[in-house]
């Protein structure tokens, strides 16, 4: 969440940022509500401190009065101390309620967009940061989308997934399962070669973990919840991996911290229907390799560009046409200051498919995580970043569509040592 001191110091900056996120005028009043509530907190804290100081002073005098045999005065003063104790208790409860209300209000405020974030309402307003420079692949009229190819080659089975679980839970089979496993290994090897330390995190997290990275309360409706245990299935490895450093104070020499992890991901993704979400275009369970960085604030945007380069190199090795979009204010994630999306071109569907988001959260997650580092000026919040490198479902869709031939589906050369075959037939 945003730092309270920063909101008080630059309320106009927050208001302009919220406008870029398309907040309406009546919604912008939340800034004044936060400041007013903080003023109330400070006033209550001052009154409490004064009351406690007066109680302590009188308590000390009572002892002196008893020593002087001034029992009547001492008993009168003891009654005053009792009243002050009750007042202090009421103020402490009031202060606790104000702090809780203030924290919950801060949880509802999204991150301030980076100055480079373009204005806009929807994904149609996203800016093309880097366009594909080559020719887009064109397939013949008999080209098939991946959900038809899956049936022809036994790659995955959506209907079997419906039988076992429900819609959006594909079952990968045969060479399709091996292709999936090959991509996971390839992505992890690329990450570790780039200096990211591999971790295998839990697939379920508690409420504190989900709240620390911003999934709660913003994305509660998109997460699968295990009621009896009060646990959530992870929507991305970002959640458990970033939380490794919750409540940690780092040294400046610890930067950069680079982590990677493969996990299945679970998202409810309710609401959309039609051809654009057919097959693997939108599923409730998918595999993804995530890269996470914890950085010094002075270097986080250089690191963001480095992460973009990492994802680019993977897509180039997979021989997939791609482009990079800078998300507009209306499409920007709740916790992100700046996000770039990677899309690959699906030749059979003749459309771009999102396969990665790479984001800088600046101090927004770190403030919730209480993730700090020691500096000459005291403890400061670190910056957190993450990115998909990569999400497999749509990568598989684009790979099998773009590489279909009469002889079968040709596997990109860089992937063949992982699959053990060059053609899926």
Binding site for L-serine, by residue number, is 236, 267, 290, 386
| Cα(414)–Cα(273) distance, integer angstroms | 35
Comparing CA positions, the residue from 241, 168, 163, 169 lying closest to residue 202 is 241
| Cα(195)–Cα(257) distance, integer angstroms | 9
Comparing CA positions, the residue from 179, 180, 397, 187 lying closest to residue 291 is 187
**CA distances in angstroms from 41 to 94, 104, 358, 401, listed in the order given:** 9, 14, 37, 59
Yes or no: say if 91 and 44 are a contact pair by the CB < 8 Å rule.
Answer: yes
**Residue 352 CB partners (closer than 8 Å, separation 6+):** 323, 343, 344, 345, 346
Per the DSSP assignment, residues forming a β-bridge with 261 are 290
Q: What are phi and psi of 335, to 5 degrees?
A: -95, -5
Structural tokens at position 21:
């996120």
| Cα(152)–Cα(137) distance, integer angstroms | 22
| Cα(58)–Cα(70) distance, integer angstroms | 14
Per the DSSP assignment, residues forming a β-bridge with 375 are 378
Yes or no: say if 373 and 249 are a contact pair by the CB < 8 Å rule.
Answer: yes
| Cα(319)–Cα(416) distance, integer angstroms | 13
Place of tokens 């949880």: 107
Yes or no: say if 343 and 397 are a contact pair by the CB < 8 Å rule.
Answer: no
Structural tokens at position 412:
């990109």
- Residues 339-367: b if buried by 16+ CB within 10 A, e if exposed: bbbbbbbbbbbeebbebbbbbbbbbbbbb
Binding residues: 236, 267-269, 283-286, 290, 354-357, 386
Binding residues for ATP: 267-269, 283-286, 354-357
Comparing CA positions, the residue from 307, 233, 296, 242 lying closest to residue 266 is 233
Task: Provide the 3-class DSSP secondary structure of residue 64.
Answer: helix
Q: How far is CA 242 from the centre of its chain?
A: 9
């Amino acid at each position: 969440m945003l730092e309270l001191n920063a909101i008080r110091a630059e309320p106009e900056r927050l208001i302009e940022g919220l406008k870029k996120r398309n907040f309406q005028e009546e919604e912008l009043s939340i800034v004044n509500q936060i400041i007013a509530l903080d003023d109330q907190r400070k006033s209550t804290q001052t009154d409490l401190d004064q009351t406690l100081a007066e109680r302590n002073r009188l308590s000390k005098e009572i002892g002196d009065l008893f020593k002087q045999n001034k029992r009547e005065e001492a008993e009168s003063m003891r009654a005053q101390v009792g009243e002050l104790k009750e007042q202090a208790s009421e103020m402490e409860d009031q202060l606790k309620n104000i702090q809780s209300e203030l924290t919950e209000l801060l949880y509802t405020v999204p991150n301030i967009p980076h100055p480079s974030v373009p204005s806009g309402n929807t994904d149609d307003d996203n800016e093309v940061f880097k366009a594909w420079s080559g020719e887009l692949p064109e397939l013949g009229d008999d080209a098939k989308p991946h959900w038809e190819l899956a049936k022809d080659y036994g790659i995955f089975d959506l209907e079997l997934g419906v039988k076992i679980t429900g819609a959006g839970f594909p079952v990968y089979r045969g060479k399709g399962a091996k292709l999936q496993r090959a991509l996971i290994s390839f992505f992890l090897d690329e990450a570790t070669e780039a200096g990211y330390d591999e971790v295998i995190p839990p697939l379920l997290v508690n409420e504190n973990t989900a709240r620390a990275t911003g999934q709660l309360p913003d994305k509660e409706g998109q997460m699968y919840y295990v009621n009896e245990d009060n646990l959530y299935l992870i929507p991305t490895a970002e959640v458990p991996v970033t939380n490794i450093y919750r409540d940690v104070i780092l040294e400046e020499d610890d930067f950069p911290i680079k982590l990677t992890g493969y996990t299945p991901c679970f998202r409810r993704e309710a609401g959309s229907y039609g051809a654009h979400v057919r097959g693997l275009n939108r599923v409730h369970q998918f595999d993804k390799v995530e890269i996470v960085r914890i950085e010094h604030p002075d270097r986080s945007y250089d690191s963001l560009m480095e992460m973009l380069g990492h994802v680019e190199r993977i897509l180039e090795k997979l021989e997939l046409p791609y482009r990079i979009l800078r998300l507009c204010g209306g499409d920007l994630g709740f916790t992100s200051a700046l996000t770039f999306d990677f899309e690959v071109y699906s030749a059979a569907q003749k459309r771009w498919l999102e396969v990665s988001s790479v984001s800088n959260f600046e101090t927004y997650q770190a403030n919730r995580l209480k993730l700090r580092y020691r500096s000459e000026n005291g403890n400061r919040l670190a910056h957190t970043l993450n990115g998909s490198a990569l999400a497999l479902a749509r990568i598989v869709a684009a790979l099998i569509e773009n590489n279909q031939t009469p002889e079968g589906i040709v596997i990109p050369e860089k992937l063949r040592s992982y699959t053990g075959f060059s053609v899926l037939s």
